[in-house]
Amino acid sequence: MDTQQIKGKPIAEKVYAECLQELEVLKSGGHLPGLAVVLVGDDPASRAYVGSKERKCKELGLHSVKIELEEDCSQETLIAEIEKLNADDAIHGILVQLPLPGHLAEDEVILKISPAKDVDGLHPINIGKLAMDDATGFAPCTPLGCQRMLIETGMGISGKNVVIIGRSLLVGKSLGLLLLQKGEGGNATVTIAHSRTENLAQVASDADILVAAIGRPGFVTEDFVKEGAVVIDVGINRVEDASAKRGYRLVGDVDYDKVAPKCAAITPVPGGVGVMTIAMLMANTIRACRMAEEGKELEFRR
């Protein structure tokens, strides 16, 4: 089968081009979108993610602020920072880099972010809006990126049988809600599978669109995949590789070499979904600014 590789970069570039157009309009009206990223501790992967978000803000010309807190900072200190950012009119998007150190209560921290600035889309109000098909909220960035890739691939979502392996709010469950919504990019028939799902390979092999968001290298093998399916691999896993410069390489949740020949289209890792997350974060931040300038943040207070 001729397999299409769905690369993230050209789709992300398209999102950035749209962002630049919107930015021009906002800037001409004297408005500059601002994103604040809060980093607690010194986890190298989190630091790298925060660094790439900062770089992308600079590249596009967004206002960007990085708040760094010590690993042992208290819940009160972190919440006080969030409240300052909530009150700062130059900041339209607030992202707390997850995971937080174990002594901090993530759910409580996310609840403190103003829903109108919650560009990561994890506040219960935004998750509720997603579940209610209310487009005034923010959806999480990785699911938005997956949906955009599926739209751009042009193989259709409406009416398709989608199986998502993974039920995290950050990825699987939110993507399920997005693809289930009425309207463009939605109307799919969605199954969300997880570690307790029985006959997983059989369930997955019914999918027209199979999404892997598990966190296990090469978990999805060819017996999970129907001939002609579209496969989106969200997984980013480090596996040891003595021949690699850093001593490891990144692989997805899908055993690409075995699965790709059966697919109509598949995302690679790296080079697939990964770059879409930051693109959708930029898009959400710009939209948060536009909504604030239009007074639409009031939508969150209904």
> Under the rule (CB under 6 A), what is the footprint of ligand NAP?
142, 165-168, 170-172, 194-196, 200, 213-216, 234-237, 273-274, 277
How many residues are given for the chain?
302
* Contact indicator for 122, 110 with CB cutoff of 8 Å: yes
DSSP code per residue over 203-253: HHTT-SEEEE-S--TT-B-GGG--TT-EEEE---EEEE-TTSTTSEEEE-S
How many Cα neighbours within 13 Å face the side chain of 112?
Answer: 18
Helix ranges (H only) for the chain are: 8-28, 44-60, 75-87, 106-112, 124-131, 141-153, 172-180, 200-204, 256-259, 274-293
Nearer to ligand NAP, 78 or 213 (CB): 213
Nearer to ligand NAP, 26 or 231 (CB): 231
- The string over 271-291, giving b where at least 16 C-beta atoms fall within 10 Å of a residue's C-beta and e elsewhere, is ebbbbbbbbbbbbbbbbbbbb
Nearer to ligand NAP, 73 or 234 (CB): 234
* Distance of closest approach, residue 88 Cβ to ligand NAP, in angstroms: 27
* Distance of closest approach, residue 195 Cβ to ligand NAP, in angstroms: 3
Point out the catalytic residue in the list 120, 233, 253, 255.
120
* Distance of closest approach, residue 75 Cβ to ligand NAP, in angstroms: 22
* Contact indicator for 95, 281 with CB cutoff of 8 Å: yes
**Tokens in use for 102?**
């174990």
CA distance 94 to 186: 27
Nearer to ligand NAP, 97 or 114 (CB): 97
Query: First and final CA of the chain: distance in angstroms?
Result: 51
* Distance of closest approach, residue 247 Cβ to ligand NAP, in angstroms: 18
Please say if 226 is a catalytic residue.
no
CA distance 97 to 212: 22
Please say if 53 is a catalytic residue.
yes
* Distance of closest approach, residue 253 Cβ to ligand NAP, in angstroms: 6
Nearer to ligand NAP, 37 or 292 (CB): 37
* Distance of closest approach, residue 119 Cβ to ligand NAP, in angstroms: 15
Please say if 120 is a catalytic residue.
yes
DSSP letter at 155 equals S
List Cα–Cα distances, 238 to 171, 249, 252, 269, in angstroms.
Answer: 19, 6, 9, 11
Point out the catalytic residue in the list 56, 97, 129, 233.
97
Nearest to 38 by CA among 12, 8, 77, 1: 77
Active site residues: 53, 97, 120
